[in-house]
Amino acid sequence: MSTILINNLCKRYGKFQAINNLSLELDSGQIVGLVGPNGSGKSSLLRIIGAFDMAYSGEVLINGLKPGLESRKIVSYLSDKPYISDNLRAEQIIKLYDDFFPDFNKDKAFRMLDLFKLKSEQKLVEMSKGMGEKVQVLLTMSREAKIYILDEPISGVDPASRKIILRSMIEGFSEDALMIVSTHLLNDIENIIDSVIFLDSGQIKIKGSTDDLREQHGKGINELFEQIFQ
Amino acid sequence: MFSKLYKYQVKELWYIARYFYAAMIGAVLLGLFVSATRIPGVVQFVNAITILGFILSCIAMIVFSVIYDYQNQQGKRSYFFRSIPAKESAVFSSRLAYYFTYHILTVLVFAIGITIFIVSNTAVEMKLPFHIAFSTVKDFFLQPKLIGLIFLLVVYTGLEHIISMMFAITIGSQAIFKKLGVGGPILVYFLHYIAMQIITLISMLLIPISIRLPQNFDTDFQFEIVFESMISEMSKVFSAQSNDIKIIGIGFILTTFVTWIIMSIWIYKASKNKISLN
Amino acid sequence: MSYKFDESQPIYLQLIEIFKTYIANGAWKAGEKIESVRNLALDFAVNPNTVQRALVELENIGLAYSQRTTGRFITQNQEKINNLKHEMAENKTRDFVIQMQAIDIEQREILDLVQRCLDSEEITNQQENH
């Protein structure tokens, strides 16, 4: 059974066709990069996979389940506009997650807090944008989920933090999980993804293993991306 | 999971609610303090301002309780809130309990505050010592029947307010209203409001359960439930069998209950199967 | 450690070359246990599956072997390691010679250049630093 199976998925907002007859099959044990220009349907697709948008047509199966409460339990999701609470300290948020999510690994969260050099007694409202994103990433990665979805996890942070976040993604990734990372900063993630999906106007333009694509086209994934989307 | 969700929602609003409640209590105390000076003009002026502040804080509390629920359901906290592996029934009941907590709390603070305003106003206007003014007002309000009636009204209006807010937020956030943003819930609220008014009016007129009003309010304070509809009473007036409408239809209570149940099921199903976050 | 990869080549092929160098220069000693896939992935900031693929390739050419319970080790066969060294040296020399020929340098001049290079202080110093 595929971890994610999508057949003829369509999603429209009024007249705008965000996803256009998209089919996709993804198995566990890999990190997938989802890239494409703004408005290409990345976030729309991820929202549907995460069962945060149920208004679509076509077939979607997450670990064999239709997106809903049950499928959401195995998905750890970092949205592109994450927000929990300004008023809580980092340690309180970790405790909150530990309370709410049975698959949450508190030790891992505190370890990553150290790795990110964040103070557990600092409130989110006092943190910079980059620090806030790190907290969000560590919360997402500290769940022992089957599917991790990270929508633009590194867009708002400085290059040094980006490196640490990417490191934590490698560290947090387990072999029986599937991780999907959407970004427009392909350069930073191209070495850590197994395969890449180029999305354009709600359709898959190219999909394949990054090493195969490098071999086939004799150029880097980022270069290939720039060439296709010029 | 219910209690965790409930605690989370109550705590989250409490971060700002405490300031509003503090402001309300502060306004009451300020009013009381200034009234105690009994300086003509100043008392009336300060009281007018503090009462205004008090009422505005009350309204703000209600508004913020709705905004915070919207943030959890559809707004900035929605991805977190929606990720929580809780059954829809737990989400629904914790929202209901959260709204009810702040509704009751706000009404309570409001009732106590307004009572103190009335007491101090009575004391100043009638030049009475404060404790005498207080016992006069207390004797008027502390009738078991009146308290019971007020309690019922608070619960009734509370439920009506809460269910319609939840309905507006959940239904107004469905994919078809998404383009409107926050306008979706507002539109749904007004549509629902108009529909409720029509239903209430029709059931008041047509359903044959009514309360017969006493002939003379001064001598006789008895209300009697009769199985007649207002429309039939009206036709009697038209055919000159009677010269006054002396009953008020209460059938709307029944239909309101039914609509609450229908709306609750609707909210439950929509937030289970029709989520569409931004 | 941060490593700069050539983005136009498959990463796993570049990893194999790096690992071979490690084995050839003794950074990874014969019979020694190889770091875990995850740690190597973190060191090189690459995908763990890519590291895995490179290590499997290393096994296929006999430079490493797996033990089911204890992990993955460098081969104990010194002859294989010597062969690897020679093969790498030959390849690099061939590349060098091809490059020299491409800019029309004669055989004697190439040998001369190599000798002079070996004699120069720069190279000697570099070797001492190693």
C22: closest CA of chain A, how far (Å): 21
> Residue B139 pLDDT more than 90?
no
The pLDDT value recorded for residue A57 is 93
Question: Could you state, in order of their start, the residue ranges of all structural domains in chain A?
Answer: 4-228
> Residue C75 pLDDT more than 60?
yes
CATH superfamily of A4-228: P-loop containing nucleotide triphosphate hydrolases (3.40.50.300)
Chains in contact with chain A (at least 3 beta-carbon pairs closer than 8 A): B, C
The pLDDT value recorded for residue C7 is 79
Whether residues C123 and C92 fall in one domain: yes
**A82 close to B (CB below 8 A):** yes
Chains in contact with chain C (at least 3 beta-carbon pairs closer than 8 A): A
A-chain residues within 8 Å CB-CB of B275? 51-54
Interface of A with C (CB under 8 A): 29-31, 163, 166-167, 170-171, 173, 175, 190-194, 210-212, 214-215, 218-223
C12: closest CA of chain A, how far (Å): 7
B-chain residues within 8 Å CB-CB of A99? 4
B-chain residues within 8 Å CB-CB of A153? none
- Token look-up 């106003």 returns B121
> Residue B233 pLDDT more than 70?
yes
A-chain residues within 8 Å CB-CB of B80? 82-84
Query: Can you tell me the ipTM of this complex?
Result: 0.89
Under an 8 A CB cutoff, do A72 and B82 touch?
yes
Q: Which domain holds residue C121?
A: 79-129
Alpha-carbon distance B205 to B232, whole Å?
A: 9
The amino acid at residue A20 is N
* B6 in a structural domain: yes
* B238 in a structural domain: no
**Residue C48: closest CA among chain A residues belongs to which residue?**
A170
Whether residues C71 and C16 fall in one domain: yes
> 10-residue block means of pLDDT along chain A (230 residues)?
92 88 92 90 92 92 92 90 78 92 92 87 83 87 92 82 85 87 86 91 90 87 83
The pLDDT value recorded for residue B257 is 93
Under an 8 A CB cutoff, do A220 and C8 touch?
yes
The pLDDT value recorded for residue C128 is 54
The number of domains in chain B is 1
As a whole number, the mean pLDDT across chain B is 87
Are chains A and B in touch, 3+ Cβ pairs below 8 Å? yes
* B237 in a structural domain: no
Residue at a domain's end among C76, C93, C121:
C76
Under an 8 A CB cutoff, do A87 and B12 touch?
yes
* B148 in a structural domain: no
Q: Which domain holds residue B128?
A: 1-142
pLDDT bracket for residue C1 (50, 70, 90): very low
Indicate which of A81, A125, A148 best probes the interface with B, i.e. most B CBs within 10 Å of its own CB: A81
Residue at a domain's end among C38, C56, C76:
C76
Are chains C and B in touch, 3+ Cβ pairs below 8 Å? no
The number of domains in chain C is 2
C-chain residues within 8 Å CB-CB of A192? 45-47
C-chain residues within 8 Å CB-CB of A163? 45
Under an 8 A CB cutoff, do A101 and B88 touch?
no
DSSP string across chain B: -HHHHHHHHHHHHHHHHHHHHHHHHHHHHHHHHHHHHT-TTHHHHHHHHHHHHHHHHHHHHHHHHHHHHHHHHTSTTHHHHHHS---HHHHHHHHHHHHHHHHHHHHHHHHHHHHHHHHHHHHHHTT--HHHHHHHHHHHH--HHHHHHHHHHHHHHHHHHHHHHHHHHHHHTSGGGGGGTTHHHHHHHHHHHHHHHHHHHHHHHHSS-EEEPPS-TTT----EEES--HHHHHHHHHTTS-SS--EEE-HHHHHHHHHHHHHHHHHHHHHHH--B--
> Residue B221 pLDDT more than 80?
no
* B200 in a structural domain: no
Q: What percent of chain B has pLDDT over 90?
A: 33
Check which CATH number belongs to the domain holding C33 and give it.
1.10.10.10
The pLDDT value recorded for residue C9 is 84
The pLDDT value recorded for residue B266 is 92
pLDDT bracket for residue C123 (50, 70, 90): low
The pLDDT value recorded for residue C94 is 92
The pLDDT value recorded for residue B103 is 92
* C114 in a structural domain: yes
Whether residues C19 and C66 fall in one domain: yes
Alpha-carbon distance B252 to B202, whole Å?
A: 8
pLDDT-wise least confident of A91-105, B215-229, C86-100: B215-229
* C117 in a structural domain: yes
Rounded mean pLDDT of B64-68?
A: 91
Under an 8 A CB cutoff, do B12 and A81 touch?
no
B88: closest CA of chain A, how far (Å): 8
Whether residues C98 and C44 fall in one domain: no
pLDDT-wise least confident of A22-36, B186-200, C65-79: C65-79
**Residue A51: closest CA among chain B residues belongs to which residue?**
B275
Query: Are the CB atoms for B188 and B248 separated by under 8 Å?
Result: no
pLDDT bracket for residue B8 (50, 70, 90): very high
pLDDT bracket for residue C122 (50, 70, 90): low
Return the structure tokens found at C15.
Answer: 């990893």
